[in-house]
Structure 1
Amino acid sequence: MTDDQAYRGLSPQQVTEYRENGYTTGDGLFPPETFAALKAHFERKLDDLPVGERPEDMDVPHFTDPELFRWLLDPGVLDVVESVIGPDIALFTSHFFCKPAGDGKSVPWHTDGYFWREMIEPAAQAMTIWLAIDPSTLENGCMKVIPGSHRGGDGHYRPVTDDNSVFDEELDQSQIDPAKAVPVQLRPNQYSIHSGALVHSSEVNRSTLRRCGYTMRYMSTSIRFNDALIGDKHQIFLARGRDLAGNVYADPTRAHLELIEARGPGQRFVGAKR
């Protein structure tokens, strides 16, 4: 896919793959100079990470850094999103998920919708663009998916006891067939798109290579955001089109420090992780 093609959304083949498998992949989400600017922006944020905070925990950075809307609301990105959810789009959340070399944490098998169930309804219909900032490979803990699993339900979850995991819950292993897992290996500026109902995971990073991706998560404005329950800790933003569900949208031109403060210590994650 060329840079110009990326700004016309997904191809019919990619849309078919997304519908059938619950995910698809693409090249060159941004023009090279735009991607380079995003990567440099991330590196500055990583350098400024507070002492003791894990780089996997760089959740909702757009709440305190409105400059990120330059990329989150990029017309080319929204063209890609529109290809699978239609023209009325809300930005749900974003997250720099960075696994440092040597001790990057794992993410157990899960669906995103399970962790979003109190925030949006129906949660499974939201989707994620996973943009590779670094190479994402088997060696450094790339995402693995179970194709077609988006047609199932959330399944049964159990507690996680692994200290290397970013979650405290995971899908019961009896519901997972590892032989069906497909690694999603990406070069920088390549991306994957997956459904909120897709079963996926990623392993620890014991390699000498960092693995960072920027997850940009969107939903149709026909999905209802539970503002009454969680609006003090999270907000959504109108990205394109019009509201279809009576949602309240936050202002993308200013920082929303009050949302971070309301989460409190140890409550950085309100959405699903990767």
Structure 2
Amino acid sequence: MCAGWAMTAMTASAATTRVTFENGNQGWVANGHDLPDATGGNPGGNLHWANFVDTWGLELRTSSNAAFLGNLSRYGNQITMSTDVKVFSILNFFGNPVPRNVVIELRDYDNPPANYPYVSVFKVLGEVTGSFEDWQTFSVTFDPTSAALPAGWGGTGAEDPTTFEPRLAPGRTFANVLAGVDEVHFSTMEPGFAYVPSFFDIAYDNVTISTPGVACDNIDFNQNEVFPEDQDVIDFFNVLAGAECPTGVCNDIDFNNNGVFPEDQDVIDFFTVLAGGEC
């Protein structure tokens, strides 16, 4: 056995898409504004809304950046979405600061109920005061395969007949909304609430969707405690071809544990890790 090797699972880097506004807006707009500033972000580029016309609220949204849309279960059972926010001011008609919540909302426009343009799920991520606040990150981690609404989440597409608050449409679940996301919003407006027009001066940066890394199996495929060795390679290919494991305790052929097997990527990742690379 080579002393330089350790029999541990190798961990892949997290899959991450981050919009830094260094290369355009990449499908994200703030109330229609889509021209990033080159400086002043966290760091560098950012999308800065400073149009001093009063409006009900401010929404950073995308309906075209594919990394944030579609069937989010393709990422597995854990996703984190976040954005950095810098508040210069949120002022009412009298020039007084107005606090607002920061809300994430994921919308599905397909087959909405009568009188509704879409069905969505949403969560309040925190609050900004309306006075100057430097960059801060608002984020949420969730399981897109969960049928039930996670704690703190709400839904739209129907209305509670007693409280008149929005609720998820009948027949819809958290998972099936997230199986067809058409738009993602980071908004100052929470569904079910009415707002007085205010003047917003807010910048956004580092809009991110990320998933945790996936652990590859260790390179001692046949679990005989001798590694690295040619026999691990031989046994890996034999089991991949449908043969029995000679030791009876081989790892499975889904070497990269991505739930897809048999596939060429398992072979590629096996040899990459065998050579000392990352999973």
Interval containing the TM-score (normalised by the shorter chain): under 0.3
**TM-score, L = length of structure 1:** 0.24
Which is greater in Rg?
A: 2
**Structure with greater helix percent:** 1
